[in-house]
Amino acid sequence: MSTLPSHQSLDLIERFSQSDDKLYDGFKTPDTIEAGGALRAGPPPSYSSLDVLALMSQYASMGLLYGVTYNLSYPFLTVYFHMEGTQLTSANALMTLAWSFKVFIGMLSDCVPVFGLRRKPYMFVGWTINAICMLVLASVDHGLPLYIDPSLEGRPLSNLTADESRGVDASAPSRGAFMVIMCTIAAFGQVVAEAACDALVVEYAQREPLHCRGRMQSLTYAIRLCAQGVTGLMFGICNNSPRFGGTYSWDIGVNGMFILVSITSTLAVPVTIFGVKEAKRTEAVSFQTYLGQCWALAQKRAVWQIVLYLFWSTVFYCSITTTASPYVKFYWAKVESFNSALIMTISNCVSAGVLMLMASYGLHWNWRVTFVVTTLIANGLDAIVQYCTIFDVFRNQWVYLGMPLAEQVPLAINWAVTMYVIVELAEDGSEGVMYGLLTTVMAMPMILGAMVTNIYCAELQLKSTDIASDTPDVRRDVAYSYMVKYGAAAFSCCWVVLFPRQKAECAELKKNGGNYPRVGAAVLISCFVILCVSVTSTVMSMFDATACYVFAGGQGCDLVETSG
């Protein structure tokens, strides 16, 4: 992430040279750079045109649905269904699992047009799948919360008397698992639509002149973040009764929330059909041709080097965490659902504002320096709040929620600079697979991180009932787990040497970085193996029959049977 002169020679931008030019005409980078340094022929996008606004509305819908994933964890999965920390970590990972397969969806979008269209049909299918899942969740009976009697809150179920057992619903966590599975399927539908949208955004962004390239991405994701904030307010206002961790005397329940959400994904279908514009492709590209192009991309140093950076920096930066955090928030900070949702909404607005500022002032910052500085600031601010809460220096929900607001500035900047490099790497015709590959690589660490987190946290006293007891030993173990989290985040800065400093350096890496087939193959195979192992472990941790395995973050099934 160093600012190099923006007037760097334009011939740094590379194109593929193949023996059969006609075969690759649909893929290659333009032979000449357009006026102003654009990477693709065509007029710069007008941000107020109907086709751009329709595309922006797709990101608004995505934001509303992203907000469901981010907001249901606390009031529904933590407070209502009372799932354990390992299950919550796995649930959050599973609900983002679809993004680990985004590269394959991008490949389909690029290579298998439907009626001559490469993007709109996939948007239609994706939103339809999502709408069906949301309607199912709006219709089924989600049952009662785990602690029907609030006076039993935090008591281990094994310690309850026969009379007290009538005040709990032991099946509640399993219903939470069903919700997670349905949201995971819905997320797959959303990713199908998103992969197609992202490819269109890249096409628009590559028509932007060099001095403002990246503005299209900043606008679309700023809209998405604002929409996420709307969902946060919906959760905070409509489900803030005591059974969801709030103080209101009313709520719309789990079903009511999903009824509102299902409207969003349902409306996205006609917007896709009538609003999104896409030029038809008259020539179809065979998978063999396309896979050859993808392999040519994968072995380029510019691609696999950034893949390595994105994967390992994300693993350590935000994927290795602690299973204690949901119940530190609930039992120690005593955060109410409305306040949590309100702060999340404000956080999204702050992030959106940062992205807008980045579009105007931050397009030429040093990407490496930006990553290191923002990482250290974000984790330093978070550590102050967390350790003061852990050791009861002060436990105030507004301090707990308010201080990390400042984290959103560096986090948004860090995310934005990662997205900018995608436009620089994408080749004409392979926008979907390039965007999908790099965003897939950013998603896979969440699954790996969940597996690592569950395994190491199983050795500490971090269950919900442990944290409710608030003993010195539990505080010590929680502090250790946060030490691991912050240490991993600091170590992520070491990987920054693999990332280009700015656009010109990225172009230079594309031009002169060379091809390394063995390294490219090793990186792709390793990513696939890690994905398979991590998904298996995460899914196992969600179900009682397999959650006891050490591989899934348990303490061993033999030990569980013996203690039982």
pLDDT of residue 4: 34
Measured at the alpha carbon of residue 397, what is the angle toward residues 391 and 398, in degrees to the nearest 5? Answer: 120
Q: How far apart are CA 75 and CA 254, in angstroms?
A: 10
Enumerate the domain spans of the chain. Answer: 47-291+309-563
Q: Considering only CA atoms, which of 32, 59, 24, 421 is closest in space to residue 272?
A: 59
User: Does position 521 have pLDDT exceeding 60, yes or no?
Assistant: yes
Residues 406 and 383: their CA atoms lie apart, in Å, by: 13
pLDDT at residue 126 above 90? yes
Q: Which of 146-160, 265-279, 459-473 has the lowest mean pLDDT?
A: 146-160
With b for 16 or more beta-carbon neighbours within 10 A and e for fewer, the 358-373 pattern comes to bbeebbbbbbbebbbb
Distance in angstroms (rounded) separating the CA atoms of residues 556 and 245: 33
Q: pLDDT digit string (tens) for 493-515?
A: 999 999 888 888 888 888 888 88
Over 80: is that where the pLDDT of 460 sits? yes
Q: Residue 239 in 3-state DSSP?
A: strand
Residue 131 near residue 470 (C-beta atoms within 8 A): no
pLDDT bracket for residue 21 (50, 70, 90): very low
Confidence of residue 388 (pLDDT cuts 50, 70, 90): very high
The average pLDDT across 314-333 equals: 88
pLDDT at 187 (0 to 100): 92
The residue among 188, 171, 94, 84 whose CA lies nearest residue 537 is 94
* Cβ-count burial 60-75 (b if 16+ within 10 Å, e if not): bbbbbbbbbbbbbbbb
Range 376-386 average pLDDT: 88
Name the DSSP letter for residue 380: H
> Which candidate, 25, 19, 18, 14, places its Cα nearest to that of 281?
25
Alpha-carbon distance of 118 to 106, in angstroms, equals 10
Q: CA–CA separation, 119 vs 124, rounded Å?
A: 9
Residue 124 has a pLDDT of: 94
CA–CA distance, 208 with 45 (Å, rounded to integer): 7
Can you tell me the mean pLDDT for 124-128?
94
Q: Which of 98-107, 268-277, 526-535, 549-558 is modeled with the greatest confidence?
A: 268-277
Three-state secondary structure call for residue 227? helix
pLDDT of residue 22: 37
Assign 216 to helix, strand or coil. helix
Does the pLDDT at position 517 exceed 80? Answer: yes
The residues, ordered by sequence, that sit 6+ positions from 311 with a Cβ below 8 Å of its Cβ are 441, 442, 444, 445, 527
- Please give, one letter per residue, the 3-state secondary structure of 446-472: HHHHHHHHHHHHCCCCCCHHHHHHCCH
Percent over 70 (pLDDT), the chain: 85
Cα 548 from Cα 545, distance rounded (Å): 7
Averaged over 409-413, what is the pLDDT?
Answer: 74
- Considering the chain, what is the average pLDDT of its residues? 80
* Beta strand ranges found along 407-512 (DSSP E): none
How far apart are alpha carbons 87 and 348 in whole angstroms? 26
* pLDDT classification of 13: cutoffs 50, 70, 90: very low
For residue 39, the model assigns a pLDDT of 63
Q: Does the pLDDT at position 481 exceed 90? A: yes
Q: What is the DSSP letter of 285?
A: -
pLDDT band at 32 (very low <50, low <70, confident <90, very high): very low
pTM above 0.95, yes or no: no
Sequence-distant (≥ 6) Cβ neighbours of residue 73 within 8 angstroms: 88, 91, 92, 326
Torsion of CA 401, 406, 410, 415, to 10 degrees: 40
Q: Please tell me the distance from the alpha carbon of residue 252 to that of residue 259, in angstroms, as a whole number.
A: 10
CA distance 104 to 257: 32
Average pLDDT over residues 217-226: 80
Q: 13: burial class by Cβ within 10 Å (0-12, 13-18, 19+)?
A: buried
**Tens digits of residue pLDDT in 232-256:** 888 888 888 888 888 888 889 899 9
Instruction: Note the pLDDT of residue 43.
Output: 67
Alpha-carbon gap, residue 130 to 144, rounded angstroms: 25
Over residues 154-165, mean pLDDT: 77
Q: What is the pLDDT of residue 223?
A: 86
Residue 221, burial from CB neighbour count under 10 angstroms (0-12, 13-18, 19+): buried
DSSP letter, residue 113? -
Q: Which pLDDT belongs to residue 38?
A: 62
Q: Is the pLDDT reported for residue 153 higher than 80? A: no
Q: 334-378 pLDDT, tens per residue? A: 988 888 888 877 887 787 788 777 777 777 888 888 888 888 888
At residue 41, the pLDDT reads 65
Q: What are the beta bridge partners of residue 39?
A: none
Burial 493-517 (b: 16+ CB within 10 A, else e): bebbebbbbbbbbbbbbbeebeebe
**Contact predicate 304/499, CB 8 Å:** no
pLDDT exceeds cutoff 80 at 329: yes
pLDDT at 283: 66
pLDDT value at position 147? 82
pLDDT tens column, 50-71: 888 888 889 999 988 888 877 8
CATH topology of domain 47-291+309-563: Growth Hormone; Chain: A; (1.20.1250)
**pLDDT at position 539:** 77
Give pLDDT, residue 282: 63
pLDDT for 26: 42
149 CB-near residues (< 8 Å, 6+ apart): 164, 167, 168
Displacement of CA 386 from its chain's centroid (Å): 23
Residues 186-192 have a mean pLDDT of 92
Distance CA 93, CA 448 (A): 9
Over residues 396-423, the mean pLDDT reads 76
pLDDT at 31: 42
Give the pLDDT band (50/70/90) at residue 18.
very low
Cβ pair 228, 93 in contact under 8 A: no
Confidence of residue 148 (pLDDT cuts 50, 70, 90): confident
Q: pLDDT category, 30, cuts 50, 70, 90?
A: very low
